[in-house]
Amino acid sequence: MDILKVGDQEKGACEKCAAFVTVTYQLRDVPFSDGCGLVKQVLVGVCEQCDQVCVLPQQSTPVVKRALEKQRKPVESRVPAHMVDILNLASVEVGCGTEFIPYIVKYYLHALASRKMSAKRLPGYLTTDLAKGKAEKRISLKGQHVVEEVSELKALTQIESTSDLIRGVILKINDDIVQNKRLKPLNELRGIAAAVG
């Protein structure tokens, strides 16, 4: 991959002009195609004729992805208060503060949805006493893959509601981390904590 600099020029196709034009790379604020939001100061190829952005170089795609990410709506669910306590205790077990909670839940969602970890006990957890309780606390999960992984895991477990699914995941975290201190997930989570901390 060629790394482009501000001011570099090359020939490229401009859709708007329907022509092959000289493209100059510049930093521009680029609106998303759906009109909601903007990526600020990203390196793009600008058409010499119409002054519109006509090329998004490969090196700029991580920035655009990240901006889209920030825009993406989180997966929200409501859970009983003791479930947040479970997640707090699990964070402590990893050696972190409560800011680590979303990472733990996302790690589990990923491991379960990708079948690196068995999801077969999830429905069973929902029939236990710990699954009960008034949903008074909110859990908000953001991330590139959260939405897909939640739907993947719903299909896998036949659990239809997102809140039930998150409850099941939290009860698995309770079982693995808080109660049994299983080393495999704990060590992986400690690795993540070291990377994000």
**Residue 189, CB half-sphere, CA atoms under 13 Å: how many?**
30
Q: Supply the minimum distance, in Å, between the C-beta of residue 54 and Zn ion.
A: 6
Q: Supply the minimum distance, in Å, between the C-beta of residue 17 and Zn ion.
A: 3
Q: Supply the minimum distance, in Å, between the C-beta of residue 13 and Zn ion.
A: 9
Of residues 47, 104, 150, 165, which one binds Zn ion by CB under 5 A?
47
**Residue 145, CB half-sphere, CA atoms under 13 Å: how many?**
14
Q: What SS3 state is found at 154?
A: helix
The tokens of 152 are what? 């993947």
25, β-bridge pairs? 45
Question: Cα separations (Å) of 186 from 5, 23, 96, 166?
Answer: 43, 50, 12, 19
Q: Which stretch binds Zn ion (CB under 5 A): 16-24, 87-95, 164-172, 185-193?
A: 16-24
Determine, following the binding rule CB under 5 A, whether residue 89 of this chain makes contact with Zn ion: no
Fill in the per-residue mask, 148 to 187: x = in contact with Zn ion (CB under 5 A), - = not in contact: ----------------------------------------
Determine, following the binding rule CB under 5 A, whether residue 55 of this chain makes contact with Zn ion: no
Q: What SS3 state is found at 186?
A: helix
Distance CA 153, CA 115 (A): 9
Of the two residues 17 and 38, which places its CB atom closer to Zn ion in the complex? 17
Determine, following the binding rule CB under 5 A, whether residue 15 of this chain makes contact with Zn ion: no
Binding site for Zn ion (CB under 5 A): 14, 16-17, 47, 49-50
